[in-house]
Amino acid sequence: MNELHHVGSRAPRIDGRDKVSGAAEFVDDIEFGPDLLHAAVVESAHAHARIVDIDTSVAEAMPGVVKVVTGRDFPFTFGLYMKDRYVFAQQTVRFVGEQVAAVVARDPVAARRAAEAVSVTYEMLPAVLDPDDALDENATLIHPELGEYPHVPWFFPHGGTNVAHWRKTRKGDVEAGFAEADVVLEDTYRVPRYAHCAIEPHVVVAKQDHAGRLTVWSASQSPYIQRDLFAEALAPIGLTHHDIRVITPYVGGGFGGKAGVTMEIIGAALATAVRGHPVKLRWSREQEFYNTYQRQGLVATIKVGARSDGTITALGHEMHWDAGAYVEYGANVVNAAGLSATGPYRIPNVSIDSLCIYTNLPPGGPYRGFGYSEFHFGLESHMTRLALELGIDPVEFRRINAITEGDELPYGAEMNPSGLVEAIDRTAEAIDWGTTEASGDPRKRIGKGFALFWKAPAMPPNASSASFLKFNEDGSINITVSGMELGQGYLTAMAQIAGEVLAVPPSKIRVETPDTDRNPYEWQTVASHITWSCGNAVHSAAVEARERIIDTVHAARGYEEGTLYLEDEMVKCETDPDFELLLSDFVVSGLEMEDGTWRGGPIVGSGSFMPDFASAQSDPQTSQGGHPNVHYTVGAAGVVLEIDIETGKMKVLRAALAVDVGKAINPTTVEGQIVGGMLQGLATVLYEDMRFDAEGRLLNPNFTDYKIPTSLDTPEMVIPIIVEVPQPDGPFGARGVGEHTMIPAAPMIANAVADATGLRVTSMPITAEKVAMALLEPV
């Protein structure tokens, strides 16, 4: 009875039929009838300027126009972690593309034409486009009011500067650690900005009815966070949480870009200006690039010391993050990196400075990996370089220093159980580490690269999940949760967890997408925490339902509760092998007694989960004293890379990634995350390249000029490796895996390029052009 039947199985996705048949409904698919209005925004043409005047008279007189609004109509701020952002710009625009006004019209063409007719007069201000320039004592202040912005208690903004948050982590004596090192290596690494490139663009439809109820349909990773931020921002016009409903159907990709609130607040605000009409706002592909979150740029200076035996003695890591014009979400990326920028290594002496810096580029925010991909590029490149300086094999160097259970983390807490060493060994074996491979083409070289990775969920200490569960007459189950299915297999995993507890196959379980009126609370679908957190809530709901089933059968049939168990959609008894009672016979109707009375009734369950050990309270100068992260998921990755030394063109011959997921609820979807994450990571290092001009304007906001790989660019072989060292507080031992699998891609490519050619590239992307030009330079 302790054998698992559904958890750990390769169950088909429960949302698969909806998606392959076209039945899955996305926000843009929903019909709203003839009353639907359409919105278009008026965007800033400048990176930094003062708004002198907005003339809407021509637009207001155009055919089909219903309403034109500006910042005067909605002078409200919003933000998840720091309230520094505006529904519409107030007095000042801070990036090219920022919304200044909006038009609501009868059709989208009329809305766009009227938006183009709005005339805005600006007074130019100096634009700051580089984070290091923003740190200059004479730099223009992008947010002079920074010191007044409300923010979470674990942020430390520096008013009167462009530093929106500074996370400091200190452990041990760094200078003493460097003094005892036999080798000390220091260098600077640069990572540019990146776009999320979800296939579905941002879209929102909002309607405030004549009773005052505001309903918002959004393509979102965060329906409850959206409701909360809408309520806060629109409180001045009388709205509360009670008045707002957020409905989120299927979402066509997110990668962090649809977390929190960006353009959705515009739709919510506009609906209050045209009561009784639904209003749709849909971003174009170009807007998707420049007016949603971008992955932040990073300049990282790393200094690491080690003894001749390979033991790391000290690490210094200073990170300057290009956070863009508003940091209401992006500052938490900077915070997360500042707590974990040692990587998965046991290092006794640590100094980390992670600075969130305002610039006049589009707002930075969450992106798959949440800062870890960025700092791992430099860190894992550096670790390979340090190993070679010491004359130690890079894989062996990582074995020597790999963090293990009970080791002290950078902020003083203890490391959770993990299979990091197993991941190292299995990855090395998969790429035949230690053997040299040669190409039959004299123009080509083959190199191998290796990298470790780790990541913790970056979330508030009180982030929580909840679940409701009910049985139907046929013994099937409905589960309501408010996590989002983004393609990662979340709904199926929840069905497998419940099915395991209740002995019901996942194919008979329906997991519903969020509606804040009907589904219970979920913080957000971010941080790779959903399997762990929401999985625990679903497990609790299923256990509660199981207890009610057992209680009912005990009351009606007299069997001792401790002898009853569930198997094959039936209740069975250890002491009576012949007793079998189908769940469908009583989970709604109950069980009849000999006297004609009934016991039981509809079986339901509820569950919630919040970690009770997490704490963001710590010394702001050292980060010691708290427990900000609940656990880490760890792993290793390796690549075999072929390079044409004449053209720089690279081909991934073989890539392997091993990740410790605790317990793979569904191995097929975990393998999908490994392959998908690896490919997305390879795209950022080999192809994607966001370019801005000297005025802060994005030059390539489209898939013609912003290169993403196609199926023709995929590696010849990707080897997914699942390691399972249980997470003690995870459902069936599971922990998250969604973001982690793209983190090691960039450094492993950089290390393979160096192995093949001797060329060390310290800035991303590592394109064929960059490699070819560098190889032509005289040594």
Class of residue 183 by CB neighbours under 10 A (exposed 0-12, middle 13-18, buried 19+): middle
Distance, first Cα to last Cα, the chain: 67
pLDDT at residue 2, as a whole number: 73
3-state helix, strand, coil in the chain (%, to 5): 30, 25, 45
Q: Please, are residues 169 and 408 in contact by the beta-carbon 8 Å criterion?
A: no
Each residue of 396-406: pLDDT tens digit? 999 999 999 99
In angstroms, the CA 774 to CA 779 distance is 10
Q: Whole-structure pTM over 0.95, yes or no?
A: yes
Closest CA to 154 of 410, 420, 356, 405: 356
pLDDT at residue 456, as a whole number: 98
Class of residue 552 by CB neighbours under 10 A (exposed 0-12, middle 13-18, buried 19+): buried
Spell out, as residue ranges, where the chain has pLDDT lower than 50: none
Q: H or E element: which one contains 319?
A: strand 312-324
Supply the CATH classification number for the domain 32-125+202-282: 3.90.1170.50
In angstroms, the CA 656 to CA 640 distance is 9
Tell me which DSSP letter residue 396 carries.
H
Q: Which sign does the torsion angle of CA 219, 221, 224, 226 carry?
A: negative
Tokens of 65: 């126009």
Residue type, 47: A
Which residue blocks in 503-631 are alpha helix, DSSP H?
530-557
All CATH 3.90.1170.50 domain ranges of the chain, comma separated, are 32-125+202-282
Q: Please, are residues 681 and 747 in contact by the beta-carbon 8 Å criterion?
A: no
All CATH 3.30.365.10 domain ranges of the chain, comma separated, are 16-24+463-609, 294-459+616-776
Q: How many CA atoms lie within 13 A of 139 on its CB side?
A: 23
Between helix 745-757 and helix 372-390 the angle, nearest 10°, is 30
pLDDT at residue 517, as a whole number: 98
Tokens of 623: 């980060």
pLDDT at residue 662, as a whole number: 98
CATH topology of domain 294-459+616-776: Aldehyde Oxidoreductase; domain 4 (3.30.365)
Tell me the β-bridge partners of 38: 105, 280
Contacts of 230 (CB under 8 A, 6+ apart): 214, 216, 239, 244, 246, 261, 264, 265, 268
CATH topology of domain 16-24+463-609: Aldehyde Oxidoreductase; domain 4 (3.30.365)
Angle among Cα 366, 368, 370 to the nearest 5 degrees reads: 50
Q: Please, are residues 47 and 95 in contact by the beta-carbon 8 Å criterion?
A: yes
Class of residue 414 by CB neighbours under 10 A (exposed 0-12, middle 13-18, buried 19+): exposed
Q: Please, are residues 501 and 546 in contact by the beta-carbon 8 Å criterion?
A: yes
Distances (CA, A) of 84 to 89, 151, 317, 325, 664: 11, 9, 27, 9, 40
pLDDT at residue 779, as a whole number: 61
Closest CA to 762 of 379, 371, 397: 379
Q: Dihedral, CA atoms, 299, 304, 310, 313, nearest 10 degrees? A: -140
